[in-house]
Amino acid sequence: MRYLVVIEAGGYMVARLLLETREMVGEFDAAVEEVGSMTAGLVPVVGALGPEWDVALGGHSAEERASAMVYTLDI
């Protein structure tokens, strides 16, 4: 399992690919076609405010984390 978190960062939307342990393994522009392909048909959980996200999203504000879209990828 992996997570794809789409979150605002400095006025831009980025997609962060994280392992099940929430270790980040990649970050890219959320507007790229691959993000749409990976999330097609998936319903995101809105918000990443729980303590399990503190390290992975520590550089983001509470507002950014509250509006983050978290997709669970079965890969």
Instruction: Convert the pLDDT of each residue in 35-73 to its tens digit.
Output: 999 999 999 999 999 999 999 999 999 999 999 999 999
Name the DSSP letter for residue 12.
E
Residue 10: pLDDT band (50, 70, 90) is: confident
The DSSP H or E segment spanning 36 is: helix 33-39
Contact 70, 15 (CB under 8 A): no
9 phi and psi, to 5 degrees? -145, 105
Question: What pLDDT does 35 receive?
Answer: 94
| Mean pLDDT value across residues 8-20 | 94
The DSSP H or E segment spanning 46 is: strand 45-46
